[in-house]
A and B are shown apart, each in its own frame.
Chain A
Amino acid sequence: MQFLLDHIASILVSGAVLLLVIATNLNAQRAAIEETVAYAAKVQTLNLADFLEDDLLLVGDGTDDTIETIETNDDGQTTEFSFWREDEMGVDMLVSYTLEEGDVVDVDGEKVQLYRLFRTEDDAAAGGGSSTLQAFSITMLDESGSTTGSVESARLLRVRAINVYGMGDADDMDLFRSYWGITVRPPALDS
C-alpha cells in the first residue's frame, strides 16, 4: 500500500498511456476488419454487376421473343425476370432470375430481410447470385427513359441492387450496404 501511494502519479500516468495504446490498437483492428468486409462486399457486388450486365445485354439475342416475365412484389423487388436468348448451340433458351427470401438479420432492433438471387437456364440451375441482397429490381424503360410495363415499348433495362454485409457480433451488428445500378440497352429491344 505504501508503495502504491509513493508512486501514485507514475501509476496514473502509465495507466492512462496503457489505456490509450490498447484502445488505439483495438480500434485499428476493428477498422481493418471493417475495411476488409467493405472490400469483400464491393467485390461481390461488382462481380454480380458484371455478370448481370453481360447477361441482360443478350435479352432476345437471336430469338423472336425477348422478355417473357417480369414480376414485382409489394416492396418493389423484382421476384422473377425471365427472357429468351440463344444458347451456344444456337437453340432458344429461357433464362430466369428469381429472388427468394433468405435470412432475416437483426440490426439495432430492426429486422432486415435478405434475399437470394437464383439463375436458371431452361429451368436448370445455371449460376447463383448473391445471397446477401437487401434489394433487387429490374425495371423496363421506354425510349424516353420513363418506366413502362409493356415489353413492346421497352428499350432499356434499369437494374438496381443493394448488397449487404454484417459486421460485428450478432447482438451488436452493423450493416454495410453496397449500392449498385446500371441501365443496359439490349440491342434486341431496339427492333
Chain B
Amino acid sequence: MSQTLMAFLAMMIAALAAINQYTSQMQAYDEAYRTEFELMANALVVEQLEVIDMTTDWDDLEDWDGDEIDAEFEVHNGDIEFTLAISVQFVDDDGTPSESETSNKEVAIQATSDRYTVALVTLTRVISE
C-alpha cells in the first residue's frame, strides 16, 4: 500500500513539474508576442501623431478628441488591425492637465488590439500655440 502511494506521489510530482514548465513557457511566448504587438502599435501611433501635428491647426486640435481610427500594420502574411483612440486636453507648461484653457494642448493616442484587453501603447505630444 505504501509503495503504491509512493509511486502515485512520484508521478504526481513529475506531472506537476511538467505542467509548471509548460505554463512558464507559454507565459514567455505570450510576453514575446505582446512586445511584437507593442512595437507595431507604436509605429502606427507615432505616424498618426505626426499626421495630426502636420495637418491640424492648433485651434482645431480638439476636433480629434474622442476619435477612434482603425489602423493596420502590414505583416508578411496579411495585416494586423489596431484601434487608435485619440484624446486632446489642455495642459499647463509642466504638462499637467488643466481645467482652464492654456496655450498647450496634449494629444494622446492609445493603441489597442482585439487580442489584448489592456492598451498596448499610449503616446502623447504637447503642441503649443
A positions within 8 Å CB-CB of B: 9-10, 13-14, 16-17, 20-21, 23-24, 27-28, 31, 35, 38, 42, 134-135, 141, 143-145, 155-156, 158, 160, 162, 177-183, 185
Contact = CB atoms under 8 A, between A and B. Distances in A.
Given A10-B3, A21-B17, A27 B25 contact: yes
9 contacts: A16-B14, A17-B11, A20-B17, A135-B76, A145-B50, A160-B43, A162-B75, A179-B39, A183-B46
A14 B11 CA distance: 8
B54 A143 contact: yes
Interface stretch (B28-36, B58-66, B91-99, B113-121): B28-36
Nearest to A158: B47
Given A27-B22, A144-B55, A183-B47, A20 B14 contact: yes
B14 to A, nearest CB: 4
A179 B15 contact: no
B35 A179 contact: no
Contacts of A158: 47
B76 A162 contact: yes
Nearest to A46: B39
Interface residues of B, number: 32
Contacts of B22: 27
B114 to A, nearest CB: 18
Contact of B10 (A13, A162, A180, A183): A13
Given A179-B36, A182-B46, A17 B10 contact: yes
Contacts of B51: 143-145, 156
Given A16-B11, A24-B21, 8 more contacts: A17-B14, A27-B22, A35-B32, A135-B76, A143-B55, A177-B76, A181-B43, A181-B44
Contacts of A35: 28, 32
B7 to A, nearest CB: 4
Nearest to B49: A183
B1 interface: no
